[in-house]
Structure 1
Amino acid sequence: MFSSQDAGEVGQPAAAKPLTILWGSQTGNSEGLARKVAKTLGGKGFEPTVCDLGEYDVAKLSEESLVLIITSTFGEGEPPDNAAGFYDWLLSDAAPEFKSLKYSVLALGDSNYPDFCKCGVDIDLRLKALGATPIVERVDCDADYDDEFEAWLTSVEEAAGAATAEAAASEVEAEEPAYGKKNPFPAKLLNNYNLNGEDSAKQTRHVEISLEGSGLSYEPGDALAVMPVNDPEYVEDFLKAAGLTGEEAVEGKTLREVLTENYDITNLTLKGLKAYAELSGSTKLKELAEDKEAFKGYVWGRQFIDLLIEEPTSFESPESLLRLLGKLSPRLYSISSSPNAHKDEVHVTVGVVSYDAHGRSRKGVCSNFLANHDGSSPVRIYFHHTTSFKLPEDPTTPVIMVGPGTGIAPFRAYLEERDATNASGKNWLFFGDQHAASDFLYEEQLSQYLESGVLTRLETAFSRDQEKKIYVQDRMLEHGKELYAWLEQGGHFYVCGDASRMAKDVDSALHQVVAEYGNKSIEEAEAYVEAMKKSKRYLRDVY
């Protein structure tokens, strides 16, 4: 344990102890928590330095005395973009031993994915293997991380010997906003319509929400958090499968009410399956819980109700059921509007999730909540701000945007912002979907931007309008020479959409373009793209 007093003259205040806080984030959560740690410990005897993992000089790590690492995981257990270089280096043979390093890791993740908190787990295990000593054991946080974060921070304060600085008490705390994560704003839904044509296999909703009276503000690149409620019909099916009426009293309400408003009754997580296996005594489920690959195969297309139906058990109380479930969490949507174009409004572009699997109809909780919302009741919202996925500060900078499907959302906001602020920089959009006739989202508005010159170039890739499928990455390669010229002019490159396939294919195409038209080797192209990432010229909002 660190001492709360440094050596010095009697009666003299102890020197502030150095503390490095490193963060890795795809959406900004980790950065926000890192800055909160710095603010808290900065008034308690520490001199904190907060650093983006993508900008951190790894050579300094062996010289640090105390490091806190806060990192998320996204996709299939991958590190966030800004942490990828650090992650690869730490897990490589190039990383040295860290015999004198004290550290702790806070890992953020989503238990809906089997590789829960994998980036943070891997970093923690690797640091231990290289001789570093955790002052507090790693804490893995789910989507609702506030309590775990506060407990971890308290443990870090105690272990590191934080002082109770009187100076901190004299500081005037910034006034908490009236509305935020802990108190979402009950907003009025203004407009809600389908962007797809009648013949489309998809349903993509354009949703407009009023901010009047909220005091809330946002910038293009931010996300809107929406607090949904569960579909009443699904709640009834869930109660029936659990053998409960819904009228049982729990948490000051009926079980039906708390399942509708507070609990996640759809997602089937590994944690939930393990708990249910123990309660039900099912050998089949216990075996699945011990095999991640088998679990991945089993969970595809299934929801928690499938456990109740396939491996039924009895519940001695409503609380015994609720203990198996996670809390209903907000859903984040990339904002598709500019506040300079739509005063007191925020718009989102929502792909409605609906499919059949294992003999049952499945629906996405929040997308269907919004799709079926008639505006008669409030939509509870708050903003999730990011400091990374933003337009360049210089309005003359060229901007290249790759956003197929609902990935177009932030780029509609970018174009509206560039138009409203008369930014002179060139704008190039790559958009793709299935069919031009029915899936060309915001076609009329984009056509107007082309005519006015706000949109310099528009490349489309409608995959199913010809025998051979064409995607946005194919269009990038077709126009590689000019694309590279835009990059050489200092252009910023943005990607939004599917992380598992599209974003990887686009990244591969970008490397090919740089190698071919920059006349570079594979290694030189990798270095070029890595430099773009470090200078914040290659940014992704992927999910």
Structure 2
Amino acid sequence: MTKTAKLPRTAPFAPEEIIALDQVIGRASAVQRAWLTGFLAGIDAAGTEAAPLAAAPSVKTKLTILYGTESGNAEALAGAAKRDAQKRGFAPRLLDMADADLATLKDTVNLLVIASTWGEGEPPQRAAPFMRALMADGAPTLDGVNFAVLALGDSSYAQFCETGKQIDARFEALGGVRIAERLDCDLDYETPAAGFIASLLEKLTPAADAGSVIHVDFHRAEAEPVGKTAPFAAEIAALHAITSSRSSSETLHLELDLTGSGIAYQPGDTLGIAPENDPALVGAVLRATGLLDDSAAHSALTRERDITTLSGKLIQDYAALTGDAALATLAADAEARGRFIAGRQPIDLFETYPHTLTTAQLTSLLRKLPPRYYSIASSQRLVGEAAHLAIAKVAYESEGRARLGVASGMIAERRKTGGSINVHVKANPHFRLPETNETPIVMIGAGTGIAPYRAFLQEREALGIAGKSWLIFGHRHFLHDFLYQLDIQDWLKSGVLGRLDLAFSRDQPEKRYVQHVLWNQRHDLRAQLDQGATLYLCGDAKAMARDVDATIVRILGKDDADRGQHELDALIAAGRYKKDVY
């Protein structure tokens, strides 16, 4: 029988380090412990001086990590920052902007803010009340608060990292002390964000404590788990249209086989797809830059670089690289840049201002090709080692050129059953079913916004939960665009779905959307909310989500906008209004 080893609580390690060591040493066999003893002795015998053991500092440096998140990236970074800070001997605490009180922040000594920007310069939904309070005239002063801001965004939007920029400027205006220049991160944020956090923690570590924390990392060499940097090649088990051939918005149902991946997900999570660029577009870009026969450039543009997003930064970088006078004039004029970008992609820039580039120059101009994320339309309780997606094919014409969505075009035109797609799961903890099955749910969605609700209802079907669910779904035409109609009708019959309201915008002379259903059924909606219902919204962020928000404010406030916004903020703070918008 193996004897269990436990470190005494008086060992010269921080409590969390003792726990970590117990987990390793406590499970180790006699042979493993003997090996470890010899290994450590060998280090000393080789002449490596061990740092003198020092008692943990009596007072740890406090650090508050405040985050505002929409898709989970800021929250994940905040969690990683907390773990790093703990290893360095800090006393960190995590604080979601949804739970933050400005009045308490004024007593914070050190503050790291990690904030994402959503849509056209908007804060994450859960952070919106905090941002309104921060920007209000009566916001408390933050004299003496040391702060640093890490901003996340997407440079394809004009208001890049706007939320982080506003927080940074406002904290300074309220008397805060900026201890690190704000860092604005694009979609490939992981490496620069990690460097920013490490640098900040080093700056905040008191000189007297340097070297006092013993870093012990035990790990076994093993395969990297499935994730963004190590996706799983999932076989396509099914791929077919769920709109009619007469639909003006083709939508596909995709089933992926996850057998052997170890991937687990919950209803509400998203699946990341590693896309490949359209070969025709790759060829056009290479031709315009004089690299058509360059195999390295072809490979990079196919799988690694974004060739569909044209940004102001790309125009400015291209102008600086080429020295083109006409291009420099465009790059210097913000309004002209905005007009040129509208409806265009990098190929339009390279063809309008052609220059021969090297592979290194071209790839340095283009940002990394990011994954495309889709709400999962299935419950693992029902489908097992599989994941279902609803993919709306993006296809349009602008500036005389046909355009395709990167991932949706790849799936619709270049993938078939039996092929494969590289995928990974991204958790969405703020878009989950209620903790108790008795809680009513109201699900509002348009188009492929139906996807997570299909997962919700499959989950309830698998668990045998009936009723207390209301779906409000909208699309263009009943006959052509009623996504997952048979599933929904079956759930209505079985009682898994308690109520269904539909809004097909083009089936009558006057367009009718989900917000019109909400308004018409406002008394029932208020009754559901009074009974403790959780409200969900999934779909387009630019139009539908804003209109729904405005309608809910009107319903809650009974035409008193301030009262309605206050009630909506209270629902958000209580986790009873959840959004998954794109």
TM-score range, shorter chain: over 0.9
> What are the Cα deviations for residues 205-231 of structure 1, in whole angstroms up to 9, with x where unaligned?
111111100011000111100001111
Using a 3 Å threshold, how does the CA distance of structure 1 residues 12 and 107 change in structure 2: closer, same or farther?
Answer: closer
Using a 3 Å threshold, how does the CA distance of structure 1 residues 141 and 465 change in structure 2: closer, same or farther?
Answer: same
Q: Identify which of 220, 224, 231 aligns with 1:184.
A: 231
Deviates more, 1:364-373 or 1:163-172: 163-172
- State the distance in 2 between where 1:212 and 1:19 align: 42
Using a 3 Å threshold, how does the CA distance of structure 1 residues 11 and 299 change in structure 2: closer, same or farther?
Answer: closer
SS state of the match for residue 361, structure 1? strand
Unmatched segments (≥5 aa) in structure 2: 1-53
Q: Identify which of 204, 207, 224 aligns with 2:251.
A: 204
> What are the Cα deviations for residues 99-131 of structure 1, in whole angstroms up to 9, with x where unaligned?
201011111111111111110111111112222
Answering whether residue 548 of structure 2 is matched by residue 501 of structure 1, we say no
Using a 3 Å threshold, how does the CA distance of structure 1 residues 126 and 515 change in structure 2: closer, same or farther?
Answer: closer
Q: Identify which of 428, 441, 444 aligns with 2:470.
A: 428
Answering whether residue 565 of structure 2 is matched by residue 526 of structure 1, we say yes
Name 2:507's counterpart in structure 1: 465
Q: CA deviation at 1:453?
A: 1.1
Name 1:541's counterpart in structure 2: 580
Preserved CA contact (<8 Å) 2:554 2:560: no
Q: How does 1:243-322 map to 2 (within 5 A)?
A: 243-247=290-294, 254-315=296-357, 317-322=358-363
Q: CA deviation at 1:257?
A: 1.3
Answering whether residue 410 of structure 2 is matched by residue 366 of structure 1, we say no
Q: Which has the higher contact order (CA 8 A, sep 6+)?
A: 1
SS state of the match for residue 382, structure 2? coil
> What are the Cα deviations for residues 408-453 of structure 1, in whole angstroms up to 9, with x where unaligned?
1111111111111123451111111111110111111111111111
Q: How does 1:86-105 map to 2 (within 5 A)?
A: 86-105=130-149
- State the distance in 1 between where 2:546 and 2:211 align: 48
Which letter does structure 1 place at the counterpart of 2:427? Answer: H
Preserved CA contact (<8 Å) 1:399 1:425: no
Answering whether residue 279 of structure 2 is matched by residue 237 of structure 1, we say no
- State the distance in 2 between where 1:203 and 1:292 align: 36
Name 2:10's counterpart in structure 1: none
Q: CA deviation at 1:173?
A: 9.3
Q: CA deviation at 1:168?
A: 4.5
Preserved CA contact (<8 Å) 1:15 1:45: no
> What are the Cα deviations for residues 128-179 of structure 1, in whole angstroms up to 9, with x where unaligned?
2222122221111111111111110121121111755645416779988621
Answering whether residue 379 of structure 2 is matched by residue 335 of structure 1, we say no
Matched positions, count: 525
Name 2:6's counterpart in structure 1: none
Name whichever structure is richer in helix by fraction. Answer: 2
Name 1:251's counterpart in structure 2: none
Name 2:183's counterpart in structure 1: 139
SS state of the match for residue 131, structure 1? coil
Q: CA deviation at 1:184?
A: 0.7
Which letter does structure 1 place at the counterpart of 2:391? Answer: V
Which letter does structure 2 place at the counterpart of 1:349? Answer: A
Which letter does structure 1 place at the counterpart of 2:177? Answer: T
Using a 3 Å threshold, how does the CA distance of structure 1 residues 49 and 172 change in structure 2: closer, same or farther?
Answer: farther
Deviates more, 1:416-425 or 1:344-353: 416-425
Deviates more, 1:506-515 or 1:349-358: 506-515
- State the distance in 2 between where 1:117 and 1:505 align: 24
SS state of the match for residue 106, structure 2? helix
Answering whether residue 255 of structure 2 is matched by residue 214 of structure 1, we say no
Q: Identify which of 453, 472, 476 aligns with 2:495.
A: 453
TM-score by length of 2: 0.87
- State the distance in 1 between where 2:76 and 2:349 align: 37
Q: How does 1:18-29 map to 2 (within 5 A)?
A: 18-29=62-73
> What are the Cα deviations for residues 493-539 of structure 1, in whole angstroms up to 9, with x where unaligned?
000111111101001111222233xxx84332222111100000001
- State the distance in 2 between where 1:224 and 1:533 align: 25
- State the distance in 1 between where 2:220 and 2:494 align: 47
Unmatched segments (≥5 aa) in structure 1: 1-9, 249-253
Name 1:3's counterpart in structure 2: none
Percent identical pairs in the alignment equals 39
Q: Identify which of 111, 136, 139 aligns with 1:67.
A: 111
> What are the Cα deviations for residues 311-346 of structure 1, in whole angstroms up to 9, with x where unaligned?
11222x221111111111111111111111111001
Q: CA deviation at 1:277?
A: 2.0
Name 1:4's counterpart in structure 2: none
SS state of the match for residue 201, structure 1? coil
Q: What RMSD, in angstroms, separates the aligned Cα atoms of the two structures?
A: 1.9
SS state of the match for residue 501, structure 1? helix
Q: Identify which of 459, 467, 477 aligns with 1:417.
A: 459
Using a 3 Å threshold, how does the CA distance of structure 1 residues 406 and 521 change in structure 2: closer, same or farther?
Answer: same
Which letter does structure 2 place at the counterpart of 1:180? Answer: G
Name 1:406's counterpart in structure 2: 448
- State the distance in 2 between where 1:442 and 1:464 align: 19
- State the distance in 2 between where 1:244 and 1:168 align: 48
Which letter does structure 2 place at the counterpart of 1:539? Answer: K
